[in-house]
């Protein structure tokens, strides 16, 4: 993962209620969400959040309803003001921004894709896609080519003259993504962007986002309550509960090393063979493999390796990346990885997970 951090969130708190500053004192003294509501009639939205969001990667913030994930993403463009803390974007604390600077941030640096599409019904698809340049004062003639380029890219070629009500839900969300791309912002905020879609359409949209990200390398902050979606999309995964971070890190490592019973419950029903990659369980070495059964890619799923091996647990494979050996995969270790172990303090497992 890149060491270039695009957004730094530091000691961020949000408390909803009549006297948030007074309630903040109780939270900093250790009071949790349930007690704060019962004793002081204030809602704890975020509790001392610290996250580094890497540039050009997808950070997924996951949690159940009420965990604080949507509250958190709305702090990144200051749709919600914090009770305390910092949000640093490209070295600037945006909480110090005045109204003009904040408008510039939202127009040029951050775009947002919403769960409910948020398209303007009286504008055509093309006009909705070009909303950002239109707000800047550009004419339709000036921004039309750029908007059409992104509509084509998200699979909506020829749909520019339609109106939102003439499109399916999945097509409307494609317009939302095209609109975000037309703004040419470095950062895309996506709040439960696919949650309202049918499962098959949702899978198509996830694949589209992965394809676009491989090409464009945007800094994406994606909110979801779905662990499968998180594991599929995330380079960096942040799991929230009751307004605080339970665990964060590389998704494969979290899956192999859950740090809390809450995380263990989340990952217990995951199809690990379909999600885990060879890079997460291999022994990292460039030493010769001896009688290896063959080669596998570092990003292959365990499911594909099981199929390749025919289920033979005596085999081992060289793990390759860009034509070079980066590790060895023992089928016996693969089988062990398929069984949830809970939080692991095993140094050899940590070394394999990297």
Q: With respect to CATH, is domain 272-353 assigned 3.30.70.260?
A: no
Residue 192 C-alpha from the chain's centroid: 10
Say if residues 62 and 240 touch (Cβ distance below 8 Å): yes
Lowest mean pLDDT among 52-56, 190-194, 245-249: 190-194
Helix H, strand E, coil C: the string for 279-299 is HHHCEECCCCCCCCCCEEECC
Say which residues have a Cβ less than 8 Å from residue 293's Cβ, sequence separation at least 6: 309, 312, 315, 316, 317
Measured CA to CA, the distance from residue 192 to residue 222 in angstroms comes to 7
The fold of 5-249 is Rossmann fold (3.40.50)
pLDDT at 341: 64
pLDDT at 196: 81
pLDDT at 345: 42
Measured CA to CA, the distance from residue 174 to residue 186 in angstroms comes to 18
pLDDT digits (tens, 9 = 90+) for 210-261: 999 999 999 999 999 998 899 999 999 999 999 999 999 999 999 989 988 9
pLDDT higher than threshold 60 for residue 102: yes
Place of tokens 């703004």: 183
Say if residues 69 and 61 touch (Cβ distance below 8 Å): yes
Token pair for residue 345? 């303090």
Q: Which of 339 and 1 is assigned the larger pLDDT?
A: 339
Burial, 144: exposed, middle or buried (Cβ in 10 Å; 0-12, 13-18, 19+)? middle
pLDDT at 347: 40
pLDDT higher than threshold 80 for residue 353: no
Domain ranges across the chain:
5-249, 272-353
Say if residues 132 and 195 touch (Cβ distance below 8 Å): no
pLDDT at 344: 43
pLDDT higher than threshold 50 for residue 351: no
pLDDT higher than threshold 60 for residue 13: yes
pLDDT digits (tens, 9 = 90+) for 114-138: 877 789 999 999 999 999 889 888 9
Q: Provide mean pLDDT across the span 68-77.
A: 95
Helix H, strand E, coil C: the string for 118-183 is CCCCCCCHHHHHCHHHHHCCCCHHHHHHHHHHHHHHCCCCCCCCCCHHHCCHHHHHHHHHHHHHHC
Cβ neighbours of 211 (radius 10 Å): 12
Check for a shared fold between 5-249 and 272-353: no
Say if residues 146 and 130 touch (Cβ distance below 8 Å): yes
Half-sphere exposure of 239 (CA within 13 A, CB side): 24
Q: Which of 279, 273, 340, 270 is nearest to 309 (CA)?
A: 273
Say which residues have a Cβ less than 8 Å from residue 95's Cβ, sequence separation at least 6: 78, 81, 82, 85, 86, 87
Place of tokens 């390398």: 217
pLDDT at 346: 44
- Give the mean pLDDT of the chain: 90
DSSP state letters, 301-339? BHHHHHHHHTT-TT-EEEEEETTEEEEEEEHHHHHHHTS
pLDDT at 3: 59
pLDDT digits (tens, 9 = 90+) for 291-314: 899 999 999 999 999 999 998 999
Q: What is the pTM of this model?
A: 0.86
Say if residues 223 and 69 touch (Cβ distance below 8 Å): yes
Q: What letter does residue 61 receive in the DSSP assignment?
A: E
Say which residues have a Cβ less than 8 Å from residue 141's Cβ, sequence separation at least 6: none
Measured CA to CA, the distance from residue 280 to residue 251 in angstroms comes to 10
């Amino acid at each position: 993962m890149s060491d270039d951090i695009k957004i730094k969130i530091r000691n961020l708190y949000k408390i909803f209620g009549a006297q948030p500053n007074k309630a903040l004192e109780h939270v900093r003294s250790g009071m949790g969400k349930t007690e704060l509501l019962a004793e002081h009639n204030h809602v704890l939205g975020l509790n001392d959040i610290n996250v580094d969001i890497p540039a050009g990667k997808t950070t997924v913030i996951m949690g159940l309803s009420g965990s604080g994930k949507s509250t958190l993403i709305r702090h990144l463009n200051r749709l919600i003001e914090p009770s305390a803390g910092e949000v640093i974007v490209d070295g600037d604390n945006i909480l110090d921004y005045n109204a003009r600077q904040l408008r510039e941030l939202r127009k040029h640096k951050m775009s947002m894709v919403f769960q409910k599409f948020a398209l303007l019904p009286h504008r055509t698809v093309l006009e909705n896609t070009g909303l950002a340049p239109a707000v800047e004062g550009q004419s339709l003639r000036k921004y039309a080519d750029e908007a059409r380029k992104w509509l084509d890219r998200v699979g909506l070629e020829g749909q520019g003259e339609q109106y939102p009500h003439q499109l399916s839900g999945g097509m409307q969300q494609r317009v939302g993504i095209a609109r975000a791309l037309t703004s040419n912002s470095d950062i895309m905020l996506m709040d439960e962007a696919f949650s309202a879609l049918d499962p098959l359409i949702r899978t198509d949209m996830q694949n589209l986002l992965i394809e676009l990200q491989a090409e464009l390398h945007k800094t994406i902050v994606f909110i979801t309550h779905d662990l499968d979606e998180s594991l599929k999309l995330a380079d960096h995964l942040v799991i929230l509960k009751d307004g605080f971070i339970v665990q964060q890190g590389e998704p494969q490592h979290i899956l192999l090393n859950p740090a809390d019973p809450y995380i263990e419950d989340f990952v217990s029903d995951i199809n690990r063979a379909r999600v885990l990659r060879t890079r997460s369980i291999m022994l990292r070495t460039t030493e010769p493999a001896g009688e290896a059964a063959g080669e596998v890619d570092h990003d292959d799923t365990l499911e594909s390796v099981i199929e390749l091996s025919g289920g033979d647990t005596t085999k081992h494979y060289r793990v390759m990346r860009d034509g070079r050996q980066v590790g060895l995969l023992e089928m016996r270790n693969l089988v062990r990885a398929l069984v949830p172990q809970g939080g692991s303090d095993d140094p050899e497992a940590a070394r394999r997970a990297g």
